[in-house]
Every structure is written in structure tokens, then in C-alpha cells.
Amino acid sequence: MTAPSRPVVGVAALSAGFGDRTALRDVSLALEAHAVTAIIGPSGCGKSTLLRCLNRMHELGAGAWVRGRVTLDGDDLYGPDVDAVQVRRRIGMVFQRPNPFPTLSIRDNVAAGLDLNGFARAERDDRVEAALKQAALWNEVADRLNRSALALSGGQQQRLCIARALAVEPEVLLMDEPASALDPIATARVEELIHELKDRLTLIVVTHNMQQAARISTRTAFLYMGELVEYDRTEALFTNPKERRTEDYVTGKFG
């Protein structure tokens, strides 16, 4: 497999699990900057676990453990002096189910990360507008920023969550099956958005939908039973897989 030209996130010999159960086994890969990397694999293969190890969210689960190394721009994210909260400010996350804050307005949802982290109020409105524009939601909500976020459609809510994550200006955005709870039109809009966002930051997108991976990503990692089976340029992985298990999976023989 060809190595990425501009690696930004490095994963080395990463294993993780819950209690005596191993969900991720000795995974190593380098993720390319300003690109979309897709993580595919059958349900339960460890995709979410890998993603949540990258922004130190995995360790919050009951009995969770992590071994190995993750670096962002050369910084060891699991170093002894590293604050997990600071890591999450650099590596944002979007979840499977849209989860806007139900008691907050659209504007306050986008600004939540700024407000809670004590950013200056002065730039607040500008950053809200910028984030909503980046998330391709501005035109739809500009006239109702003070309304409840729950009044939006599912697809709009998900783009709101993307705007909320973008507002704190992370370097990397993790997305865990961001479109799997959405209808096809909303899914298409999120995919389009992912495509536009890679100019701005590095995206890592978990999906169980191979067509989606093929459409949105430049590189794809195939996980199977907690192990990284193959990692390559998306086109190469889908058209000319080197591993038998990859070929079986992408041709729909299992999973």
C-alpha cells in the first residue's frame, strides 16, 4: 500500500477494548491531511472504537482500556502531560444520531463550544455565521437563529451538529456514520459537505456503506474483527484489493 504524502494523524500499534474484551488489535495507520479517510467494515468490527480512540473518547466507557500510540502533527495524544479535553478541542466529533442540545436555540447550539470554553463574546456572531456557512446550513436558518434546534429536520440537525463542531475550529473532524440516520437526499447533502470540508480540515468518516466510502473518500481502511486488514487509496482498495477478506467484503460476499 502507498503511504499518504502528508500524514497528520499517526496510529501505531493501537489496541483497545472493554474489560477482558479486545475490540481493536494492533492497528497502525497514517491518516492524510486535508483528505477524507473512510473506515469501513462489518458491524462490530471496531470502527467506532478506533474513531473514539483518536479523540480520547473511548477511555470514558466503563472498563475501557487503550494501548499503543496516537499522534496528531507529531504530538503524542496519550502522553503523560496531555489533557484529553485539549485533544478533543483539536479533534472534533460528529455522531451517528443528530444530537443538538435540546434546550438551546440554533445560534446557541453552534456557539456552545465557544461559550463553554470561554471564548470572547465579540466574535461570537461572526463565528456562528461562518460555521453555519461552512456546514451549508446558513441559508436555511439565517432567519430563525433564535428558534429551537429541535424544529429542524433530521438532515438539518446533523448539519447543525457539524457546524457546532466546526465552530471551535478543530484540525480533524471525526464522523461516526454521520448519514446513516438520514434519508437519501439529506445523505447526499452531508456527503457533498464532507467533500467541501476537506479543504479546511482532515476528515475521518466511519461508514458501513461501501458506495458512500467510494464516493467521499481518498483513502479507505478496512477493519475486520478488530484488525486492520487493508488500507489503501480508495480506488485501489475497491478495484484491486490485495487481501482476500477485503475482496470478499467489497464484493458483498459477507458483512
Residues making contact with Mg ion (CB under 5 A): 48
Write the binding mask 19 to 38 for ligand ADP: x where contact by CB under 6 A, - elsewhere: --x-x---------------
Under the criterion CB under 6 A, does residue 220 sit at the interface with ligand ADP?
no
Q: Determine whether 210 is exposed, middle or buried from the number of CB atoms within 10 Å of its CB (0-12, 13-18, 19+).
A: buried
- For residue 202, what are the β-bridge partners? 172
Q: How many C-beta atoms lie closer than 10 Å to residue 60's C-beta?
A: 9
How far apart are CB 160 and another protein at their closest, in Å?
Answer: 11
Residue 68 CB contacts under 8 Å (≥ 6 apart), including other chains: 11, 12, 13, 14, 15, 16, 26, 27
How far apart are CB 19 and Mg ion at their closest, in Å?
Answer: 18
Under the criterion CB under 6 A, does residue 119 sit at the interface with ligand ADP?
no
DSSP state of 151: G
The amino acid present at 230, given as its one-letter code, is E
How far apart are CB 12 and ligand ADP at their closest, in Å?
Answer: 19
How far apart are CB 230 and ligand ADP at their closest, in Å?
Answer: 16
In the bound state with ligand ADP, the residue whose beta carbon lies nearer, of 49 and 212, is 49
Residues lying near ligand ADP in the complex (CB under 6 A) are found at: 18, 21, 23, 41, 43-49, 61
